[in-house]
Structure 1
Amino acid sequence: MPFLNSLSGRFLVLTVIFVMLAEILIFVPSVARYREDYLLARLERAQIASLALLADDALDADLEKELLNNAGVFNVVLRRDEMRQLMLSSPIPAPVAATYDLRDPSVLALIGDALRSILEKEDTIIRVIGAPTQDAGLLIEVTMESQPLRRAMLDFGERILVLSAMISAVTAALLFLAVRRILVAPIRKVVRHMQSYADAPEDVRRIIEPNASLTELRAAEEALQSMQQHLTAALKQKDRLAQLGGAVAKVSHDLRNILTSAQLFADSMERSDDPRIQRIAPKLVGSISRAVNLCEATLAFGRAEEPPPSLTRVTVSGLVEDVLEGERLAAEGHLCDLRAEVPPGLMLRCDPEQMYRVIGNLVRNARQAIIATGAAGAVTVRAAETEEAWFLSVEDTGPGLPAKARDNLFTPFQGGARKGGAGLGLAIASELVRGHGGRLDLTRSDDRGTVFTIRLPKTEISENSGRP
């Protein structure tokens, strides 16, 4: 049934069950207590009837019978002292089947006797012994039928069960209404908020506003609000990145055409007789070629088709020196020393163009950080190898990365290491290194400077593994 599968329905059923269990636990002691009171009342009435014998030792037989009928017993024995007994008696229809002593019974004994009295369907004769009221003797003893007691107990138990059922129904109904108002209604409200938000997650008006009075529900609403806020922000950023990607692709397309023309002009400069132009022209041609390749790679990235690295054996010293020479031209006039500590002859298996971009990005960031301080500094590129991997590190003596940059170091548009930076350089560098099956890590960044380490494994990687 749908109702029983709901929180309200199950709570209602459990409430009825628990209340009935509680009433049952109360029912048995209540019936036992009723039986004890019933028998004590018979003893008291029998004691009153026996006192008539004190006033007149020779009672009329009819009067004695009437006293016993009013007391509901067959005979009465009242022991006032060790030597004297007062007795009212009438014929007993059957032998005594059981004796119950009510002078100092235990709770378990009373409950056990009550259960036996209810289960006993045959009419038997029982003896009941108790203490006289008002200290009127040592003990009082009566004999009586068991069925009147059983009928009275059953009637009392029936009333208790009816009352228990009524209490259970009223309690369950009140709790049902309370749970629906206090718990179910707020939960349904949260569900409606979630459904509304799912229809348009970009709409900030659909983000839930916590207002529950219950601590647990308010905590759930606050957690949902935080999740929705982060998701909405992420979706907006995703849309902005998609739009930015389209714009970058368009700009890269046009820029590639412009740089192609510039490359033609640079080629003609190489034929100049000016020694300075002959020295700078190859660098210019190389830089323009790399810019063209970068534009083409940007267009491929916008199509989610970043090509895998084209692996070849490269001399590390030549690759690093090529990067440093270009950066030295950019650092002219500044106290920034760019140097390499690379073992001669060390070979590296990588994509030369992609690795040039990675090292160039790290060196450029380090150089700009030092120049921004206005003080002298140095950038050192080191290389080493083990049996398992090659290691390249870029170390500077700059001021170190800010906390925000360290927290979002390789996240596009969030991990900018310098003011005004877009935060793309390190993200692209990390992606290119991962394409080689390696890893780019921030080894250290404090007031002594910053160290980035590139680890490239020596194991071969397949063409598909080069895709990010």
Structure 2
Amino acid sequence: MSIDTLTGRFAALTLLFVALAELFVLIPAVSNFRTDYLQTRLEKAQIASLALLAAPEDESITAELESELLANAGVYNVVLRRDDVRQLVLSSPLPGPVAATHDLRQRSTLRSALAALRQLADRRDEVIRVIGAPVNHAGQLIEITLSTGPLRHAMVEYGLRVLIGSAVLIALTAALLNLAAQRLILKPIRRVIRHMASYSAAPEDARLIIKPAARITELREAESALASMQTTLTQALKQKERLAGLGQAVAKISHDLRNILTTSQIFADRLEDSADPAVRRAAPKLVNSISRAVNLCETTLAFGKAEEPPPTLSRFDLRGLADDITEAELLLLDRAAGPPLVDFVTDISPNLVIRADRDQLHRVLSNLIRNARQAIEASGRPGTIEIAAAETDHDWQIRVGDSGPGLPQKARDFLFQPFTSTTRKGGSGLGLVIAADLVRGHGGRLELLRSDGNGTEFCITLPRGSLGENLADG
């Protein structure tokens, strides 16, 4: 039985506490034995002295008889006080001076226990005086002298007998407690462990969910909590499995649909050269619709990937990246019918160099700027999109703001949840989700700073250290 197991520790603690309890019992027991031993010597000495006093006054006892009476009583001298007269009844030579006096008439539990412990610790054979009250009121007091050697020997023998009995009791108690713990506590715990192991092997199997059956309240509560957790996890895994299957199907459909739409886009571009004025006017709208459909397919495919690749960091000019994105957006504006409604303002120092994955940051900024442009266009009023950046000792901060109508409350509540944050008809609601994932991959964060009637502003924060130092430069 290892001490590192619950069984081993429970058994060790049981032995320890039972041994401590027996120790607290042993000390008073030995103390009482010492008091009884001395009281017995007083009684024997009283009987011996009364036998002598009962003899006729004209007859004296022999020295041999006196020695035999003293030996039977286990004492050296016996003194009786009767009628206020102190009388030496029996006597013999003392082997040494009297070392201490003990008055049994003044009994104290603590004092008796300390005297017993000192008696056990002192190996010297000394002479002590013991004073007590005679039995049956046969005098005022009785006083004896005796040797401590036999007393200590008797105390040691008695203590050993108590210890042996206690050891048997300790072993029996520990065995019974361990058996009870095995049956009442450890067996239900092992049952829970077996259920957890079998469930972890197949968490999608609802048959492996534990059924609370423990009789102990705490263990039953633990089993109920485990069953609730397993039920929730199993349902979540099944839902994720269904979503994964649906995602694969959508990804396949989006892939094939994107190829079809790309071909359609090529042919739609040629309609702008048609001789029919109505066809030429409708061609840009058709191209834009197909472009949005292609973008939706590409976005869905990107989101359907298991995970984005880790960023490959490199140092590049942020102003140049922002200019590339705004130029691409301006080309789309130029192709749209009617005058452009959006104006771009870039407030980035030409000397600002950041360290990030250029392609991933291009996707992040493109999503934010495209959302801002589409929001302004949807409002039908001219607006401005501003891209600004700053750096501190710890990070880079890139802000993308617009003067559009702002996001509705529903969109703000589900801002970074897929398929729920879109406010545009035909949108997928994946742009911000993908952007936030890409920024988190850099160890940064994407936050909505404000969104009201005056427009919307997002902030990208990228750390300058830690994560970048652990990734290879491109």
- TM-score bracket for this pair, using the shorter chain length: 0.7 to 0.9
Q: Aligned equivalents of 2:48 and 2:192: distance in 1?
A: 74
For 2:273, what is the secondary structure of its paired residue? Answer: coil
**Distance verdict in 2 for CA 1:130–1:426, change over 3 Å:** same
Does residue 409 of structure 2 align to residue 400 of structure 1?
A: yes
| Structure 1: distance between partners of 2:15 and 2:143 | 44
Task: Tell me if 1:157 matches 2:159.
Answer: yes
Report the equivalent of 1:170.
172
Q: 1:457 to 1:195 in 2, by over 3 A?
A: closer
Q: 1:427 to 1:122 in 2, by over 3 A?
A: closer
Shift of 1:206: 1.5
Alpha-carbon distance, 1:170 to partner: 2.0
Write the letter of the residue equivalent to 1:400: Q
Output one character per residue of 1:414-445: Cα deviation in whole Å (capped at 9) or x when no partner.
77889999764432343456679874323357
Distance 1:323 1:391, change over 3 A: farther
Structure 1 position 190, deviation (Å): 1.1
Moved more, 410-419 or 57-66: 410-419
Partner of 1:40: 39
Q: Deviations over 1:109-155 (max 9, x none)?
A: 53454345446667654432234456665542112344443343233
Number of matched residues? 444
Task: State the Cα distance separating 1:180 from its structure 2 match.
Answer: 0.9
Q: Residues 272-317 of structure 1: CA distance to partner in whole angstroms, max 9, x if unpaired?
A: 2455643553453355346446545655665668688997343777
Which residue of 2 is the match for residue 383 of structure 1? Answer: 386
Q: 2:145 aligns with which of 143, 146, 152?
A: 143
Q: 1:387 to 1:402 in 2, by over 3 A?
A: closer
Kept in 2: contact 1:73–1:142 (CA 8 A): yes
Deviations 1:159-209 (A, max 9, x none): 211221122122111210121122211210111011111221111221223
- The answer as to whether partners of 1:413 and 1:424 remain within 8 angstroms in 2 is yes
Deviation at 1:400, TM superposition (A): 0.6
Residue 6 of structure 2 aligns to which amino acid in structure 1?
L
Shift of 1:64: 5.7
Residue in 1 aligned with 2:100? Answer: 99
For 1:102 and 1:11, the matched residues in 2 are separated by: 46
Shift in CA distance, 426/436, structure 1 to aligned 2, threshold 3 Å: same
Q: How many angstroms apart in 2 are the aligned matches of 1:270 and 1:426?
A: 33
Give the SS at the match of 1:86.
Answer: strand
Counterpart contact for 2:210–2:227, Cα < 8 Å: yes
Query: 1:332 is matched with which residue?
Result: none
| TM-score normalised by structure 1 residue count | 0.73
Distance 1:129 1:56 in 2: 25
Q: Deviations over 1:186-235 (max 9, x none)?
A: 21011101111122111122122344444543454355345434543443
Per-residue deviation, 1:359: 4.0
Measure, in 2, the Cα distance between the counterparts of 1:192 and 1:171: 30
Mapped to 1, the partners of 2:163 and 2:182 lie a distance apart of 28
Q: For 2:460, which of 436, 455, 458 is the aligned residue? A: 455
- Tell me, yes or no, if the aligned pair for 1:8 and 1:176 is still in contact at 8 Å: yes
- Cα distance change of structure 1 residues 148 and 466 upon mapping to structure 2, 3 Å threshold: closer
Specify the alignment match of 1:314 in structure 2: 323
Give the root-mean-square deviation of aligned CA atoms.
4.8
Q: 1:147 to 1:73 in 2, by over 3 A?
A: same
TM-score if structure 2 supplies the norm length?
0.72
Contact 2:448–2:459 (8 Å) recurs in 1:
no
Comparing 273-282 and 243-252, the one that deviates more:
273-282
Q: Is the 8 A contact 2:347 2:389 kept in 1?
A: no
SS of residue paired to 1:410: coil
Distance 1:345 1:87, change over 3 A: closer
Corresponding letter in the other structure for 2:18: V
Letter in 2 for 1:91: S
d(CA) in 2 for partners of 1:327 and 1:203? 55
> CA deviation digits over 1:324-383, x for unaligned, max 9?
899999xxxxxxxx9757548989998777644444456768999xxxxxxx99997642
Give the drift of 1:13.
3.0
- How is 1:173-212 mapped onto 2 (pairs within 5 angstroms)? 173-212=175-214
The answer on 1:443 being equivalent to 2:449 is yes
Give ranges in structure 2 of 5+ residues lacking alignment.
392-396
Aligned to 2:251: 249
Moved more, 115-124 or 172-181: 115-124
Shift of 1:85: 1.8
8 Å Cα contact 1:323-1:359 kept in structure 2? no
Does the residue aligned with 1:392 lie in a helix, a strand or coil? strand
1:26-80 Cα shifts (integer Å, max 9, x gaps): 3233212211121022223333444456666726416766654553333311123
